[in-house]
Chains A and B, each alone.
Chain A
Amino acid sequence: MARTELDHVTKVYAESAGSDVVAVDDVSIDVADGEFLVLVGPSGCGKSTTLRMVAGLETVTEGEIRLDGRVINDVPAKDRDIAMVFQSYALYPHMTVRENMSFGLEESTDMPDDEIRERVERTAETMDIGDLLDRTPGELSGGQQQRVALGRAIVRDPAVFLLDEPLSNLDAKLRGEMRTELQRLQDELDVTTIYVTHDQTEAMTMGDRIAILDGGRLQQVGTPLECYHEPRNLFVAGFVGEPPMNFFEVNLTDGALVGANFEYPLSEATLADVRGHDELVLGIRPEDVELVVGDESRSSGGAETGHDFRTTVDVVEPLGNENQVHLRFVRGDGADEQGGRGGATAEGERTEANAEELVATVSGMRQVEPRQDVVARIPEDAIQLFDRETGEALHNRELESAEVAEPNP
């Protein structure tokens, strides 16, 4: 168990052509003792390189990696007391499961043979692979190999546990099970764990905290809910969450956001946040979009604020528990923008002008048919605003509503 710190870590690959490739750019993360940190990002974002630097499989170009305060930049991989689970499992094919699991203890400790044997058997029982000990990896299924790979890392009782996309070769059902099991194991063992994945669902469900990387740069470190509700920038907002957040390019004119298909008036409080920025991106999570039918919209206050928009249902994706509804804005005929705003821009254009669509998630019990006309309400307390140039978040959804979403009051 150990605290792991990455302090302004940079990795540059010198290409033979003379051009350097910066794989990891000035990343600082402090992983507390016993914490489960998930490094997540799209492929090629530098997450695996970061993990490999912690493992000692890659050199660090700049910055420091510390384990319990000790700088380990120059400590060879074999002396770091770190165990790693690889995406391909990397089991030793000529050894039995028992030998695979004993190997690390034999090589890195002076432990007597009986003790190694006992420990391997105990770990194998915990991992539910006790009856596989005398088989070779070639005789095991993918899921069993995965367990052996985990067992091999756990049995060594390392200071830090590194996992490089360990679940990506499993089928969806097994992946779900292993996700839960890994969390349980990590909780029991209480070992500092760094977990790399490209799958934001894994990141959200497993991590104590998640660190989001893009293009070698750290975008945000925080708890899953922080990253979900208070994304620091456009990238994080778009990366975290499934289905992803809806984005619309808008310009701030006259106290309202003017997009290709709609106008969205802002309250004074929100305006204060975005002051000085004109070119914005409006973000709204699909589950925050409300669908209101017919007259309901007029009575419930959406009309006055101008946050109701006429849309046509394009596609409905039923998932059982929820429906993902793809909507298209309807324009013209004075049917939209109850507040009467934007009349000048609306005139001349006719219906469904733009490919921009809005995805809303509604309850699975609710009947929504394609081509049905519905009114989509975008509540102002749930919107996120970003600067279009820098991607920086200017206005996050209001905290009260975020807190409501969290289980604890």
Chain B
Amino acid sequence: MSEGSNTPGPVDPGARVGEGSDESRESDPSAFTTSSALRRVALYGTVLALVAFYLTPIETGLVTAIKTSEAVRTTLPFLPPGPDGFTVEKWVYAFDALSHGMVNSMLFTIPSTILCAVFGSMAAYGLTLVDWRGQIAVLALFIAGIFIPYQAVIIPLSEFWSIWMNLDERLAFLWALPLLEPHHATILELIVTHTGYGIPICTILFRAQYKTMSWEMIEAARLDGASLWRGYRRIVLPLSVPMFAVVFIFQFTQVWNEFLFSLTIIRSVGDPAASVTLILSGLGEALEGVDFPLRMAGAFIAALPTLVVYVLFADQFAEGVRV
């Protein structure tokens, strides 16, 4: 901007002698407007190009999902199908195929998300707002827990559940109860696994917020007669609602989209406990070729719950991120 206004207009040096100041005052703004208009065009052009760049895959996915197999072959991927190439049949099929996987995924995602948040918050309280010896060492363990790669644990993990724990036999007495089925043992295994894996990162997230809390306020609660637990329950917990939203969204997305644990613990797409990601991985795969519209429709259906969670907690999330 300063560059534009400093650049002298195309003024005859001779003319400037007499009325220099007036001339330059008039010519500068015009030079400024031209260059700023150009700048603006360039800016909008770039923004539009970026929007197109980022939205094209999604748009392509959407239009592909509503095409018939015939239309996929005859039209360009990102162009919508003609009237005879349009169908919602793939969505219906994908929904049928994924629905029980969605139910299973919900069954382990929701509990483990809640457990992660609750345990993470409690652990953070104990590690941040309570003073005791050796808490740094414990905190170091939590931080280390974040960096354990999934690949490193999948074999011990599947051994642990299938050989050592063997939940579906040990809990056999439960399966006679209404609403409970043997495959819920696998769901339970997934809940515990995801909770264990999610607690460290949730703890660190909560700790970041708790460190900003007034230490004097915690002390005031103690002097007011509140025990450690009551101080958490009545002071810290209500104040960490925004952070719970952040953790819910984050953890729900993580667990819902997770594939490796599903693969190793559930093992087969045909298992009644199969998760949505596991079923999705095999959806539309066939000897005669990949059914792209079906895969796309399935992908959108599988992504829907995470979007819903984000929308539900968006306000709280914004507040939590600010903390």
* Residues A90 and B219 in contact, CB atoms below 8 Å apart: yes
Enumerate B27-72 residues with CB–CB distance to A below 8 Å.
Answer: none
- Contact A92/B221 with A78-B226, A78-B227, A103-B226 known, Cβ cut-off 8 Å: yes
CB-defined contacts of A94 to chain B, threshold 8 Å: 238-239
By secondary structure, the B interface counts as helix
Q: Name the segment of A21-29, A81-89, A181-189, A210-218 touching the other chain.
A: A81-89
**Which of A56, A76, A90, A108 lies in contact with B220, CB distance below 8 A?**
A90
- Contact A77/B214 with A104-B224, A107-B224, A107-B230 known, Cβ cut-off 8 Å: no
Q: CB of A93 within 8 A of chain B? A: yes
Q: CB of A174 within 8 A of chain B? A: no
CB-defined contacts of A156 to chain B, threshold 8 Å: 224
Minimum C-beta distance from A293 to chain B (A): 55
* Bound form: Cα–Cα A82–B222 in Å: 10
Q: CB of A55 within 8 A of chain B? A: yes
Q: CB of A57 within 8 A of chain B? A: yes
* Residues A103 and B234 in contact, CB atoms below 8 Å apart: yes
Enumerate B210-229 residues with CB–CB distance to A below 8 Å.
Answer: 214, 216-217, 219-227
* Bound form: Cα–Cα A88–B218 in Å: 12
Number of residues on chain A facing chain B (CB within 8 A): 26
Q: CB of A1 within 8 A of chain B? A: no
Q: CB of B235 within 8 A of chain A? A: yes
**Which of B219, B225, B234 lies in contact with A108, CB distance below 8 A?**
B225
* Residues B216 and A86 in contact, CB atoms below 8 Å apart: yes
* Bound form: Cα–Cα A77–B130 in Å: 13
Number of residues on chain B facing chain A (CB within 8 A): 17
* Bound form: Cα–Cα A152–B235 in Å: 15
Fill in one digit per residue for A119-160: 1 if any B CB lies within 8 Å of its CB, else 0.
000000000000000000000000000000000100010000
Q: CB of A359 within 8 A of chain B? A: no
Q: CB of A91 within 8 A of chain B? A: yes
Fill in one digit per residue for B131-172: 1 if any A CB lies within 8 Å of its CB, else 0.
000000000000000000000000000000000000000000
The closest CB in chain B to the CB of A156 belongs to B224
Enumerate A366-409 residues with CB–CB distance to B below 8 Å.
Answer: none
CB-defined contacts of B225 to chain A, threshold 8 Å: 78-79, 104, 107-109
* Bound form: Cα–Cα A83–B234 in Å: 19
Minimum C-beta distance from B3 to chain A (A): 46
The closest CB in chain A to the CB of B238 belongs to A94
* Bound form: Cα–Cα A177–B67 in Å: 78
The closest CB in chain A to the CB of B241 belongs to A94
* Residues B216 and A90 in contact, CB atoms below 8 Å apart: yes
* Bound form: Cα–Cα A257–B226 in Å: 61
* Residues A92 and B223 in contact, CB atoms below 8 Å apart: no
* Residues A92 and B219 in contact, CB atoms below 8 Å apart: no
Enumerate A47-81 residues with CB–CB distance to B below 8 Å.
Answer: 55-57, 76-80
- Contact A88/B214 with A78-B227, A107-B230 known, Cβ cut-off 8 Å: yes
* Residues B217 and A90 in contact, CB atoms below 8 Å apart: yes
CB-defined contacts of A87 to chain B, threshold 8 Å: 216
- Residue of B217, B224, B234 most packed against chain A (CB within 10 A): B224
Give 9 pairs: A residue, B residue, CB < 8 Å, sorted on A: A55-B219, A55-B223, A77-B222, A86-B220, A88-B214, A92-B221, A103-B221, A107-B221, A156-B224
